[in-house]
């Protein structure tokens, strides 16, 4: 790349109009499918200002990339798993979520209302998109939970609006020198009260900030060979739970004068007693080449 092109891209990156591909090996840096992902000016932007077990209700439009995997048959709709919109055709989720789901819903917030409102501010009716196909990672094994990632292709293009937007996928230093630590955010409609006798899903989208902890903590808890393709996240009484599977584990990072949410993990598995300790998440940055290979126009 010439000095002039590097300078132009540096300026555009500062403005949020270019992807950071510095430091990547050639297979990633020159991958033809980067062009299918949104630039920093059009991903990971929440519609509200910055401001699950042990969590709280999210604000309307706070995570416009959150997706729900559904089984729709006759006049019934069954919620299966969570997912994350990454471009106008694709949703990332966990491999173990790819069973009989046939639709993805976008723009949902409260399952008990047809039109979601906060005060005078209302969102359009959520939209359901038929699943055209879904690709599991070829290395996924249910017995070990390894490579728990899948890419869903939707039928037709997603109609973006302020309540439906894609998240940013890791790029540049986030794939090379960046080390995820501190706290991350997980969102979903999973069980929010592990002591409830009914253990039903929550109708309103929940979110919770969780600490990233060492892989050794999860190895000690689950007695399994957890590796760098996974994250260990959470603590006692703060956790994802049944129904949150496949949903996003994300972090808001500064980008010039604004901020972007990046997808770092997918809810994979945890203790049967949710909130009893940290859980295991698929490490999305480790799968960026796989994602780029599988995304198609």
Task: Tell me if residue 90 is catalytic.
Answer: no
Non-local CB neighbours of 231 within 8 Å, separated by 6+ positions: 180, 212, 215, 249, 264, 265, 280, 281, 282, 283
Q: Higher confidence at residue 284 or residue 19?
A: 284
The span from the CA of 182 to the CA of 88, in Å, is 31
Determine which of 138-147, 176-185, 265-274 has the lowest per-residue pLDDT on average.
265-274
pLDDT at residue 95 above 90? Answer: yes
What the block records as the tokens of 208 is 């919770």
115 phi/psi in degrees, rounded to 5 = -115, 120
From 148, 207, 239, 240, the catalytic residue = 148
pLDDT at position 29 is 87
Quote the pTM value: 0.88
| Percent of the chain whose predicted confidence (pLDDT) is above 70 | 84
Please report the pLDDT score of residue 272 as a whole number: 78
Catalytic residue flag (residue 145): no
pLDDT at 4: 47
| Residue tagged active-site, from 68, 192, 240, 245 | 245
Say which of 20, 31, 68, 96 is annotated catalytic: 96
Give the pLDDT of residue 215: 96
pLDDT over 80 (residue 8):
no
Tens of pLDDT, residue by residue over 229-270, are 999 999 876 546 555 789 999 999 998 778 999 999 999 998
**Is there a catalytic annotation at residue 96?**
yes
Residue 110 near residue 158, CB atoms below 8 Å:
no
**Average pLDDT score, the chain:** 86
Contact 210, 181 (CB under 8 A): no
pLDDT tens by residue, 38-78: 999 999 998 664 444 555 889 999 999 999 999 998 888 99
Ordered structural domains, the chain, with CATH: 64-166+290-294 (2.40.10.10), 172-285 (2.40.10.10)
| 8 A C-beta contact, residue 107 and residue 117 | no
pLDDT digits (tens, 9 = 90+) for 190-213: 765 444 444 457 889 999 999 999
Residue 90 pLDDT greater than 60, yes or no? yes
For residues 22 and 173, the answer to whether their CB atoms sit within 8 Å is yes
Residue 278, pLDDT > 50, answer yes
Higher pLDDT, 128 or 28: 128
């Amino acid at each position: 790349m010439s000095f002039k092109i590097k300078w132009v891209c540096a300026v555009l990156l500062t403005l949020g109009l270019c992807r950071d591909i510095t430091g990547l090996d050639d297979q990633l840096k020159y991958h033809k499918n980067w062009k299918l992902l949104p630039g920093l000016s059009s991903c990971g932007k929440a519609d509200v200002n910055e401001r699950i077990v042990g969590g709280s209700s999210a604000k309307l439009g706070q995570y416009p990339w959150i997706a729900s995997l559904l089984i729709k048959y006759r006049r019934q709709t069954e919620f299966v798993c969570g997912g994350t919109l990454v471009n106008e055709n694709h949703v990332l989720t966990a491999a173990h979520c790819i069973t009989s789901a046939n639709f993805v819903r976008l723009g949902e917030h409260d399952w008990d209302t047809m039109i979601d409102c906060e005060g005078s501010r209302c969102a359009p009716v959520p939209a359901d998109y038929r699943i055209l196909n879904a690709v599991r990672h070829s290395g996924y094994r249910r017995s070990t939970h390894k490579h728990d990632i899948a890419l869903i292709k939707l039928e037709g293009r997603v109609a973006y609006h302020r309540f439906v937007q894609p998240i940013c996928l890791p790029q540049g230093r986030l794939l090379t020198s960046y080390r995820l630590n501190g706290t991350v955010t997980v969102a979903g409609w999973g069980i929010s009260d592990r002591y409830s006798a009914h253990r039903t899903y929550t109708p309103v989208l929940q979110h919770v900030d969780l600490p990233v902890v060492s892989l050794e903590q999860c190895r000690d808890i689950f007695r399994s060979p957890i590796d760098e393709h996974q994250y260990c996240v959470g603590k006692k009484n703060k956790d994802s739970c049944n129904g949150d599977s496949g949903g996003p584990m994300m972090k808001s990072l500064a980008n010039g004068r604004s901020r972007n949410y990046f997808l770092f993990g997918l809810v994979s598995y945890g203790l049967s007693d949710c909130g009893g300790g940290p859980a295991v998440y698929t490490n999305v940055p480790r799968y960026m080449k796989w994602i780029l290979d599988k995304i198609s126009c």
